[in-house]
Amino acid sequence: MPQHHLMVEPVLALKDNYVWLFKTSAHTWAAVDPGEAGPVIHHLDSLGETLSHILLTHHHHDHTGGVEALRRHGVARGYTPLVIGAEKDAHRLPPLDVAVTGEQRLSLGDLEAEVMEVPGHTLGHVVYRVLDTLFAGDTLFRFGCGRVFEGTPEKMWDSLSKIRALPDTTQLCAGHEYTLVNLQFACSLEPNNAALQTLLTHIFRQTDMEQPTMPSPLGEEKQYNPFLRSDDPAFAKNIGLTGLAAEQVFASIRKKRNSF
- Interacting stretch for Zn ion, rule CB under 5 A, among 68-76, 134-142, 177-185, 246-254? 134-142
Tell me how far, at minimum, the Cβ of 37 lies from Zn ion, in Å.
18
Cα(25)–Cα(189) distance, integer angstroms? 44
- Of 9-17, 88-96, 97-105, 135-143: span binding Zn ion (CB under 5 A): 135-143
Instruction: Fill in the DSSP letter of residue 175.
Output: S
Q: How many residues bind Zn ion (CB under 5 A)?
A: 2
Amino acid, single-letter form, for residue 17: N
- 96/197 Cα distance (integer angstroms): 44
- Closest CB to Zn ion among 44 and 96? 96
Q: Is 142 a binder of Zn ion (CB under 5 A)?
A: no
**Distance of CA 14 to CAs 11, 29, 37, 238, Å?**
10, 21, 10, 37
Considering only 136-144, 191-199, 213-221, 230-238, which stretch makes contact with Zn ion by CB under 5 A?
Answer: 136-144
Kindly tell me which of 28 and 179 has the beta carbon lying closer to Zn ion. 179
> Nearer Cβ to Zn ion, position 60 or 229?
60
Q: Which of 60, 129, 176, 257 binds Zn ion (CB under 5 A)?
A: 60
Residues whose CB falls within 8 Å of the CB of residue 79, separated by 6 or more in sequence, listed in order: 50, 51, 52
- Residue 73 or residue 176: which is nearer to Zn ion going by CB? 176
- Alpha carbons 214 and 144: distance in angstroms, whole number: 13
Choose, by CB under 5 A, the member of 33, 89, 117, 138 that binds Zn ion: 138
Q: Is 9 exposed, middle or buried (0-12, 13-18, 19+ CB in 10 A)?
A: middle
Residue 12 makes CB contacts below 8 A (sequence gap 6+) with 18, 39, 177, 212
In this chain, which stretch among 22-30, 77-85, 131-139, 189-197 interacts with Zn ion, using CB under 5 A? 131-139
Closest to 14 in 3D by CA, of 33, 32, 36: 36
Nearer to Zn ion, 28 or 182 (CB): 182
Which residue lies nearer to Zn ion by CB, 18 or 235? Answer: 18
Residues that bind Zn ion (CB under 5 A): 60, 138
